[in-house]
Each structure stands twice: as structure tokens, then as C-alpha cells.
Chain A
Amino acid sequence: MWVRSALAYRASFLMMAFGNFAANALDFVAIMLMFSRIDALGGFSLPEVAFLYGTSGVSLGLADLLLGSIEGLGRRVRDGTLDVLLLRPAPVFAQVAADRFALRRLGRLTQALLVLGWSLPRLPVDWTVGRVLMVPLMAVCGAAIFAAVFTAGAAFQFWAQDAAEVQNSFTYGGNAMLQYPPTVFAKELVRGVTFLVPLAFVNWLPALRLLGRPDPLGLPGWVDFLGPVVAALMCTGAGLAWRLGLRAYRSTGS
């Protein structure tokens, strides 16, 4: 339904889809402008940065496509329209996720895929079957991790209804960070996104393994393969947070 309604204003839809595509493309344009002045950033070449950019973008793009609407939850809690969803015989989570489903979000995913595709043949990697399979596995685990962050952020809005932006710091902010090599950032920050909010498992750790580089924290090698475990744990945690939040929900009564 939301797909059809979006298509009703065709000029606007086309502009939205292009805008979404361009919004992310501009980030990459900024990176390319940087590389017009330098050869390496934090010791990483343009294809390597593009690989980080692409993998993080694909993961976020997938999570955003499925769950991006969930950030509108705060508004629904505030104005009481969440009640309507509680009455319907379908899981609230699914309803909120499908709420205002926006096809234009494909723009982000497409753009990230293009950059990823551009980077792959330019990487100094000796491709084996295992290494090739690692890329889609990264994308799926990364998407699950971002999806967990989206869900946890939405659950938080049951209590702090106006704080949707905090969630952006972790999703879009996390994505902005993962686009750059970990060597760029201070150790404390890298520790934060490894142990506190384990976004480093979206692409940093597996990508470092693939590119044959040491990770700046000097973790044991097997940690690089923990992506699926971390993703599963995070999704479980986010699911619990969501239930807790939903149980704590008190309608506005309006």
C-alpha cells in the first residue's frame, strides 16, 4: 500500500529515489575528493576504503530497507496512534516495520552495491572460494547487527519518545565510522565499537582479515569470524528490549 501511495506523486517519488541514491553517493564523492589530494588514508588505499564503504553501506541499506520505518515509533507513542496497531491481529513489530515502507530506500542499497562492486576487483586480495563467500556473509551479519541496533533504538523510544536522533548516532553514525579504516580512529573509540556496541563486526574485523591487515586492538585472529555469533546475540538482546518496551507502553489515552 505504501509503495502505491509513494508512486502517486511520480515526480516526487523519482526525486526521492534519486535523492536517496545521491545522499549516499555524496559521502563517497567526499571520499573521492579527499583521495584527489592524497594516496592513502590511515594507510588504506581508495579501493580498500571503498570496500569498507560498500560493505557497511550494503549492511545498513538492507537493515534500513527492512526496519528503517521503525524510527517513526517515537511519534506513534507520542500521539497515541500506536494503540491502533495493538488492536490489529498481527505482531506490532511487523506492523511498525512495514509502516510507511519506502521503496526509495533501495537508493542507498543500490549505491552501496555499486561502490562495493567497483572495489572488489581492485582489492589486493587473492580470491579463494572461502574469501568470496565471506563478502555476502559479512553483508548479512552486518545487516542483522544494524537491524538489532534499529530495534533496540526503537525500544528505547517507548521510554524516551523524542529521542529518535540518538538511534541515528548508532546507525548512520556507525555507518559513517565504518566507512573509514579503524586505523583512523582513537583506540578508545575502536574499543567502544568492538566491545560496547559491537559494530566493528559489521565489516571492520572481517574486512581486515580479508585484506590481510592486523587489527589495531591486537585481538586473537578467531575473533574476526565471530560476526554471526555477535549478530545472533545482538538480535536476541534487541528482541528482549523490544518486548520490555512494549510491555512498558502506556497509551496517551487520547
Chain B
Amino acid sequence: MWYIAVAAGSFRRYATYRIATVAGVFTNTVFGFIVAFTYIALWDERPHLGGYDQAQALAFVWTGQALLATTGLMGGGGLDELQERIRTGDIAVDLYRPADLQLWWLAADLGRAGLQLIGRGVVPMAVGALAFPLALPGDAPTWGGFLLSVLLGVLVSFTLRYLVALASFWLLDGAGLALISGLACMFFSGMLLPLRVFPGALGEVAQLLPWAAILQVPADVLVGARSGGAVLGGLVFQAAWAVALLALGRLVQSAATRKVVVHGG
């Protein structure tokens, strides 16, 4: 129950950033247009590149823009605050709370993601669908599978950002690591280019890494590049990474909290 309250609080908190949300929607839409046109040129040159037709590729672009804030693809997403608390030492206060640190921040991140999906996801996607022919599904089960996949993607994204934040216990200033982790996420999630378009072995390896669970899998479910059993396979892939990385987060968390020394005064 605790954690639901935390999630709801986080949802409401992000809902108050109205101008920032509108500005974010504007930015996502502008970038969506730019990338969509480059993809049209790319798919004109090589139709069915990566197994997508042009409408699927365009739907992929706008899914990426719609999920950018939701899945915290560029890093941050509230966990930079945890990082800051570790750096300043405020984390000691958090550790005294009768709540688990990881679950607390997970709940907050889910609340944030929920608001971002509505606030920054729906409008860019709608604009994209109006301006370009997108391959979007017409049936409820596919949309349901997509939303489930997004939820799992947010989980995986959270676990990675949580690990980065915890690294501040050792690095003191973790901004550099956060930046690099954000870049890895941008590149290996399919945000810069769908992983199926990557050439050869690079593409195959990239599709096995945890970042693929954040955008590539949900987008493939939505644009119909995965159907039937492949949808289930994708969800299992995401869930496996989520569980593994949550467990790793636990381990690092217990190692980190043993390290905390609280100075008096």
C-alpha cells in the first residue's frame, strides 16, 4: 500500500510540471518529424530494410518519441535525484525509513512513467499518425501486449538507472557514468536506429542486451514485427532481464548500504 501511495504521489508530482510537459511534447514532435523524414529517405533507398516496410519504420520512429520520456531513455527520470542524495549524504535519512530503498524508488519511477506515457506519449504519437501513414494495430490485444511490454521496458530501464545511481556510493560524482549509461541506452535500445537494421553480428548481439527490452521489443510488438508466439517470447525476454537486474540491484544496494558511514553533527 505504501508503494502505491509513493507511485501516486510521483504521478501527481510530474503532473504539476505542465509547461515542461508541453515543451517536452513539442520537442518530441519536432524530433519525430526530422527522424521520420530521414527514415522515409532510407526506406525509399532500401525498401524492407530490417524486415520493416516504410509504414512500420515510421510507426517505429513515433513509438520511440512517445516512449522517450516514459522509459527514461535519456537517463535521469527522477533517479538523478537519488544520485544527488547519495552525493550529498541525504541518503542516510532515506535508509532510516521503514521502506525498502529499491521498491520506494521503483514505485516513484512507475508513477512518473505513467504520467509521462499519458502526458508525453499520446500527443506525439497522434501527431505522427496524422502526418504520416503509420502501421498501427487496430485490435485491442496487440495494444494490450504493447502496454505490457512498455511496463516491462520501464522496469528494465529503472533497474539500469538504479544501478547507475547506486554507483555514486563509490564514484561520489556519478554524472559522468549516468551520461555514458544514457548513451548506451540510446544506441542499444534502437532509438538511434532500429536494432534490426544494424548490420550482421552487431545487430544480433544488440538484440540480446537489456537495452533492447526498453524500446526495440515494445516497438516491434506495436508495429507488428513480432506477432503470436514472438510477442510472448519478447515479453519473456524483457521479464528475464527485469528480474535479473532487479536482483543485481538488490545485491549492489546491500553492499552500498553497508558502506554508508553517517557522521554526527
List residues of chain A with CB under 8 Å of any chain B CB. 9, 11-16, 18-20, 22-23, 26-27, 29-30, 33-34, 36-42, 160-166, 168-169, 173, 176-177, 180, 183-186, 189
Contact = CB atoms under 8 A, between A and B. Distances in A.
Contacts of A184: 37-38, 40-41
A163 B20 contact: yes
A166 B23 CA distance: 5
B247 interface: no
B250 to A, nearest CB: 25
Given A165-B26, A176-B31, A23 B179 contact: yes
B34 interface: yes
Contacts of B35: 176
Contacts of A18: 176, 180
Nearest to A16: B176
B119 to A, nearest CB: 13
Contact of B19 (A13, A160, A177): A160
Contacts of A166: 23, 26-27
B183 A19 contact: yes
Contacts of B171: 9, 11-12
Nearest to B42: A34
A75 to B, nearest CB: 11
Contact of A12 (B27, B38, B41, B174): B174
> Interface residue tally of chain B, by bracket?
35 or more
Question: What DSSP secondary structure best describes chain A's contact surface?
Answer: helix
B29 to A, nearest CB: 8
Given A9-B172, A33-B197, A186-B37, 12 more contacts: A11-B176, A30-B187, A160-B23, A162-B17, A162-B20, A165-B27, A169-B31, A180-B38, A183-B41, A184-B38, A185-B37, A189-B37
Contacts of A39: 45
Contacts of A19: 176, 179-180, 183
Contacts of B46: 37-38
Contact of B26 (A12, A14, A41, A169): A169
Contacts of B229: none
A180 B38 CA distance: 8
Nearest to A168: B27
Nearest to A30: B192
Contact of A163 (B22, B174, B183, B199): B22
B179 A26 contact: no
A22 B42 CA distance: 24
Contact of A165 (B24, B33, B183): B24
B41 A173 contact: no
B19 A163 contact: yes
Contacts of B180: 15, 18-19, 22
